[in-house]
Structure 1
Amino acid sequence: MSLKVATSGAATAAVQSHLDRLIDSKFASRLFAQDATLWGPEAEDESSKRLGWTNAAEVSQPLVADIMTLRDELQAAGIDRIVLCGMGGSSLAPEVMTRTGGVELVVLDSTNPSQVAQIVNDQIERTAVVVSSKSGSTVETDSQRRAFLAAFAEAGIDPTERLFIVTDPGSPLEQQSRADGFRVFLADPSVGGRFSALTAFGLVPAGLAGLDIQSLLNAAANVADELAADSPQNPGLVLGAAMAGAEPIKTYLGIVESGSGIVGFGDWAEQLIAESTGKHDKGLLPVVLSEDAPEIGLPIPDLTIVRLVADAAETPALGDEINVSGTLGEQLLLWEVAVAVAGEIIGINPYDQPDVESAKAAARELLDATPAPEAPAFVEGHIEVRGSESLLAGHASVAAVIDALLAAMPENGYVAIQAYANRNDLNALTQSRDIIAHRARRPVTFGWGPRFLHSTGQFHKGGPKVGVFLQITTSEPTDVTIADRPFTFGELIRAQAAGDAAVLEQHNMPVLRLNFTDPVAGTEAFLRILQEI
């Protein structure tokens, strides 16, 4: 069996502090028996509805044949471009599955009008679309669905033959879709979004794109007994204790791909961990790092490095690090168990997300009110500058306000870069993460907006209030309308960015907002300024 977790230093000490207690309390076997009392009385109601993920690999087996049949039908009709419309738990798992499996899945998890237009208008004649939403009420996914319905209609294509729904039983989306003649795949309602990798939410888009989903399910099923064992060798208990069991807690978890062959795993784990643990001013913040990221060589006492390696038995962990190995199917279940363990150790309910709604509510309020645009504090070339008064006072250059933002970071803080931009065209923005980490000498996260609102967004508002936030938006040359909605994609993404910034500032955390009036020229100028700093 390839599933292994190796620890060293402080990570080993954290395991030693908690492992015996977890075994004595039969945490693992009770978890797989779906015991809702594991996280305390306050969490019991929510967790009683959210533990279906423990046997998802078995429950999801009947889906495989239906997915394969539809894939064969589409391929026979020459339809080989699969687009997934979904946010957070509905998109991150199939993205890592297909990237690792080397099959093509186009993921639309943005409201940026340029990105939406590029994906909706590309090769519509050979495109099928999966719309994934537990309730159907997610504004991003509903808007994306409407955009594709309009595109199919314009191309003279019957949308019921090209657009497929993944949702929970009884949801408004299921009822409306069936009434309109669309094919619906139902997920297990006892599984929350971020734990849904091995349900229809992960399997339908990945399977239609060409992934061997049967092997993925088999891999997870094969390690279920090991992860349910009340044993010191249980890798889920070991990883969960190593992640969360340090005293004092190490808030930051640097996730590094180091030869595992799994592509993009950190992006999936980021939501699972941050949204599950970041609440009540506690939590773990994942930081997706490359092997040469600045943080790895810096003395950051509250950062634990987790490396995904080919074989943790042959690659011993060094320093205070954790090494993890296993196939993707095995690791999906492993990390879900580890997060359940971490929640128990931290003392939180891993199944709720009380602070995610605040940014959504603020965005809805702005869409309804449509206030006049806020004038920038100043403009430098293609960059408009706005933000917290404490950052802007006395400054008149982008370099100066970035300096002010980093200076405002607490000793135990972090920087979050939030790019509400077209990630296909402006991927160069990701370079800003390493540059700022070199300067800040603290953990730096990078998230594409609005998708990060469904993952690290919970930690930003619910976790320790020690973050400083750099928000990047772009003025797009074109906009995209949304059928039967009073707002466009451009208005929606602006409201989402402004709403999140407002909520962060209400929590007394500084936000620097840079808008690029020309997306490409603004990006180039921004990176040049960072290099000079």
Structure 2
Amino acid sequence: MTSVVTAGGISVTIRGAVVDESETVLERLVSDGVPGALTSGNAKLWGPDAAPLAARRLGWLDLPETSRSLAARLAEPVREARDAGLDRVVVAGSGGSVLASDAMYRTAGMERSESTELIVLDTSDPHEVAGVLAGDLHRTLVVLVGESIEADALRRVFGQAFLETGLGRDELVRRFVVVAEEGSELERVALDAGHNLVTAEGTVDDRFGALGARGLVAAAFAGVDVDALLDEASRFAGVLRQPYDNPALALGAALGSSALGTRDKLVIADHGSGLDGLDGWVEQLVAGATGKHGRGLLPVVVEGVNAPGFELAGDLRRVILGRRPDEPGPGREAGVSVAGPLGAQFPLWEYAVAVAARVIGVDPFDEPDVAESRASTAALLRSEENTAPTVVHRPPELVSDAVEVHAGSDALRGARTLTEALEAIVEDVRDGGYLAVVAYLDRVGDAAAAELRPLLAARGAMVRRHPAPVTFGWGPRSLHTVGQYHKGGPANGVFMQVTGAVSDDVPVPGRPYSLGELQLAQAFGDLRVVRSLGRPAVRLHLRDRAEGLAQLGQALGSTPGSALG
């Protein structure tokens, strides 16, 4: 059985058993008047306890229209930056809006009207930051988004770097564009320094803010046609009130019914959509909005429809991001397929996830568990040595050349080799659970680390009767994206954290720590919280990053010539 809902440039195709499962939920949503209530901004949709926060977080519903004035206001600053030769844009921040900017830029590709560069820095890795600092700072403009500890550190680091290039004060203040809410500390910093300030919407949070100032400003300075994105979003937003022929409502019903049933993990694969980076933005939205109070949907982003883990049965719901619902080839058996332009995808998924959260019974705007890792990081940075001595000085359970394995428990089950240790970690995932890999490394220089996901998924298929899904994320990005699910979702995850030696650290001006120390505090802080919740967690430390990654690849059976081979 197949159901296709097409409207406003978006097609959502639902196949097989998902049709029957979601129809009942869809009928209940319609009878409850959810489409009209949501588009009217009814904050009571998620229950009385959630209403006060929801009332302050529903501004994303209006962004396709209200952001028109923002696009107009940005036109002159963007032109001035280009006239000044500032065509290398670094967006420094964290969370969903940064990933939205990245998806906009990468998807625009050759359609951009200007030859510009957008570099995403939502990291504290000193190697990655140093690589960006080594580029042409005379062409560089920094867009600061949000008040994360990484953004603060990067503001200080780039300010010092600009000074060292000989920039005067007047030129220095023009090198920063700050996106901040009115009344925030970041706004005060920007006003004191004289930076170009763009006010972020106070009724939109970072997770749902793709089409607001937090997502659009960096994209606009990088040459993305913001008006075209808003046109796509507006065409689709007109159908959201409809009880029928509403792709977002159908998708929300499918997601919600999956979480209520046994398929609470979404395996997401791109199959020729052309929307580069959308999967990462969807991942943070689904995980952060639904993963709390022991419930939620775990997004599992895989490399394609032929990747290890896509075909797993059991508790998985497959989601394809494709060009059109009837596209032939692998993956057509997926439970849900979604097609349409990027601008429309943002309101589609925001609406669908908000609906799914209602079905699941959680507040999509609350982040009750995110603050724990931030507080743990802050505590470590306040400690006398800016580290966590009880973690740092504990000897590893296993050392294999460039790789140390810190299990913190008997999770290794007497493993004597790196391969045995990795297999023990995979086997430790209970049925219905998942393995989450988080790499606190350089996304550019250590890009090969991403191959750990398919290699571990393939290894799991070999050593387990019921293979478990494997997710991969970069730290500290994961703290602001899927971190809420890791702590607040179902307590069935096993965590593998990967850290690496720092060869060239970067000091943070005005702070008693370096980027390397900040990164380590974030990694250890998150590890401490995960373990305190009773989740099994293992840390692999690479004494030499390149050699350590190669060793991990060999231990997992990577083929010669691969990035980890």
- What TM-score do the two structures reach when normalised by structure 2? 0.91
Are 2:99 and 2:277, in contact at CA under 8 Å, matched by a contact in 1? Answer: no
> Which residue of structure 2 lines up, in the alignment, with residue 438 of structure 1?
458
> Which residue of structure 2 lines up, in the alignment, with residue 188 of structure 1?
201
Q: 1:466 to 1:114 in 2, by over 3 A?
A: same
- What TM-score do the two structures reach when normalised by structure 1? 0.96
Are 1:388 and 1:505, in contact at CA under 8 Å, matched by a contact in 2? Answer: no
> Which residue of structure 2 lines up, in the alignment, with residue 346 of structure 1?
360
* Secondary structure, aligned partner of 2:91: strand
The Cα offsets for residues 385-436 of structure 1, whole Å up to 9 and x where unpaired, read as 1123121452332222212211211100111111000010111111111111
* Secondary structure, aligned partner of 2:144: strand
> Which residue of structure 1 lines up, in the alignment, with residue 97 of structure 2?
90
Aligned-residue RMSD, C-alpha: 1.6
Q: 1:401 to 1:313 in 2, by over 3 A?
A: closer
% identity of equivalent residues: 38
Are 1:474 and 1:517, in contact at CA under 8 Å, matched by a contact in 2? Answer: yes
The Cα offsets for residues 249-303 of structure 1, whole Å up to 9 and x where unpaired, read as 41111111112211121100011110000001000011111221122223x2211
How far, CA to CA, are the matches of 1:23 and 1:532 in structure 2? 50
How far, CA to CA, are the matches of 2:66 and 2:262 in structure 1? 36
Counterpart code for 2:250:
V
> Which residue of structure 1 lines up, in the alignment, with residue 490 of structure 2?
464
Counterpart code for 1:467:
G
> Which residue of structure 2 lines up, in the alignment, with residue 241 of structure 1?
253
Counterpart code for 1:240:
G
> Which residue of structure 1 lines up, in the alignment, with residue 5 of structure 2?
none
Alignment of 1:225 onto 2:272 = no
How far, CA to CA, are the matches of 2:435 and 2:368 in structure 1? 22
Farther off after superposition, 14-23 or 447-456: 14-23
> Which residue of structure 1 lines up, in the alignment, with residue 563 of structure 2?
none
> Which residue of structure 1 lines up, in the alignment, with residue 17 of structure 2?
10
How far, CA to CA, are the matches of 2:357 and 2:410 in structure 1? 35
> Which residue of structure 1 lines up, in the alignment, with residue 3 of structure 2?
none
The Cα offsets for residues 56-115 of structure 1, whole Å up to 9 and x where unpaired, read as 111111111222211211111111101100101231100011000015310011101111
Alignment of 1:480 onto 2:506 = yes
> Which residue of structure 1 lines up, in the alignment, with residue 157 of structure 2?
147
Once the two structures are superposed, the pairs formed by residues 25-36 of structure 1 within 5 Å of their partners are 25-36=32-43
How far, CA to CA, are the matches of 1:328 and 1:349 in structure 2? 26
Once the two structures are superposed, the pairs formed by residues 75-474 of structure 1 within 5 Å of their partners are 75-102=82-109, 104-133=117-146, 136=147, 138-157=148-167, 158-231=171-244, 233-246=245-258, 247-289=260-302, 290-298=304-312, 300-312=313-325, 318-319=332-333, 321-369=335-383, 370-372=387-389, 373-374=392-393, 375-440=395-460, 441-474=467-500
How far, CA to CA, are the matches of 2:328 and 2:224 in structure 1? 29
Are 2:236 and 2:344, in contact at CA under 8 Å, matched by a contact in 1? Answer: yes
Counterpart code for 1:46:
L
Unaligned runs of 5+ in 2: 1-7, 461-466, 560-565
Residue 483 of structure 1: CA displacement? 0.8
Q: 1:18 to 1:315 in 2, by over 3 A?
A: farther
How far, CA to CA, are the matches of 1:112 and 1:314 in structure 2? 40
Residue 19 of structure 1: CA displacement? 1.0
Residue number among 57, 63, 80 corresponding to 1:56 in the alignment: 63
Are 2:412 and 2:425, in contact at CA under 8 Å, matched by a contact in 1? Answer: no
Are 1:9 and 1:318, in contact at CA under 8 Å, matched by a contact in 2? Answer: no
* Secondary structure, aligned partner of 2:177: strand
How far, CA to CA, are the matches of 1:350 and 1:5 in structure 2? 22
Q: 1:77 to 1:320 in 2, by over 3 A?
A: closer
Q: 1:334 to 1:315 in 2, by over 3 A?
A: farther
Residue 315 of structure 1: CA displacement? 6.5
Are 1:315 and 1:323, in contact at CA under 8 Å, matched by a contact in 2? Answer: no
How far, CA to CA, are the matches of 1:203 and 1:473 in structure 2? 32
Counterpart code for 2:535:
M
